[in-house]
Structure 1
Amino acid sequence: MSEKSRLDEIKDELEILDINPTIFARKEIHALPDVLSENEKIVYLIEGRNKLTNHHIILVATERRLIFVDKEFMYGLKVEDFSYDKVSSIQYEKSLMLASIDIHISDNVLEIDNVGKYYAELFCEKVRDFMARPKEYFQNKPEPTALDQLEQLGRLRDSGILSEEEFAEQKKKLLDRLS
């Protein structure tokens, strides 16, 4: 059995999280194997437009840090990452169809717009969860076990985020990866 590429693993992670990036995020998604550490796991990912540069970007929340990825044809790859303890606040504002997110880091405010309003709210909740954790949490964090991942899938099903069919599909994918 051939070993999956890191990009395929990332795409599988996104699928399990029910994140379906648009074609506009393709360049940034393809850059992620070079951006993420070997065992770093994505918690959530959104895409939008950096209000300052007007570039399409992705924001990636991992269990370790918050990462901004901007891969433009003319400008190359720009990656900025911040530990959660550097984020002082994150907020979103919904309009009719889309939302914007403001992230306060040190003395800077990063403004992202053209984000799907449902995804903006979820992303902010995930980041706030990590912001609330003590600094020690991020040091020497063990990898989640298969049982941890199955329990998480069960919680997603029980809370109505995953249907019974989606749960069974994701459970099968997880168990197939283990064999």
Structure 2
Amino acid sequence: MDFDFKTATPEQLRARYNDIATEMRETQFLSKKELDHVPHILQDGEQVLAFATGLMNNDTWLITLTDRRIIFLDKGMVYGLRQAVIDLDKVSSVSFTTRWLFGDIHIRDSSGTYQITNVWKKSIVPFTNRVQQAVDARKPANNP
């Protein structure tokens, strides 16, 4: 059964986000204001599969994986909301590098590469694996 992010109560959203955060080994500390905004930008029936937090262009961004796209959100303190989106059908590859405590995620599409730095090392493999699974699930089945 799909979860309805658009009509869920704040308590239901918090519980769902906690479940995802546990699975992804991700903290929600730096991304609360972005997570609060996610239901407002989801399409009807769209499901959040994973999220991670990191730096992109020296700002903290929430990277949200849904069953349809990857959404990059930065809800600043002073300015409004910045958003970038990659449809899963357009993702050509996802890769990562790790260091002592943090690492980087690289998501490529036909227009370039999104590099998210300073992602918690423990979150990188679960998140990138989930992205690859979601991308693979969107590919048409090979017909012999």
CA RMSD of aligned residues (A): 2.0
Q: Does 1:35 align with 2:41?
A: yes
Query: Which runs of 5 or more structure 2 residues have no equivalent in the other structure?
Result: 1-6
Query: Which runs of 5 or more structure 1 residues have no equivalent in the other structure?
Result: 138-179
Relative contact order (C-alpha < 8 Å, sep 6+): which is higher?
A: 2
Partner of 1:131, secondary structure, is: helix
Higher strand share: 2
2:88–2:138: 8 Å Cα contact kept in structure 1? no
Higher helix share: 1
Match of 1:15 among 18, 23, 39: 18
Please say which structure displays the higher CA radius of gyration. Answer: 1
Question: Aligned partners of 2:64 and 2:85: how far apart in 1?
Answer: 9
Match of 1:130 among 127, 134, 140: 134
TM-score normalized by structure 2?
0.81
Amino acid at match of 1:109: T
Change (3 A) 1:116 1:60: same
% identity of equivalent residues: 24
Match of 1:90 among 75, 88, 94: 94
Q: Does 1:108 align with 2:107?
A: no
Tell me the matched-pair count.
132
TM-score normalized by structure 1?
0.66
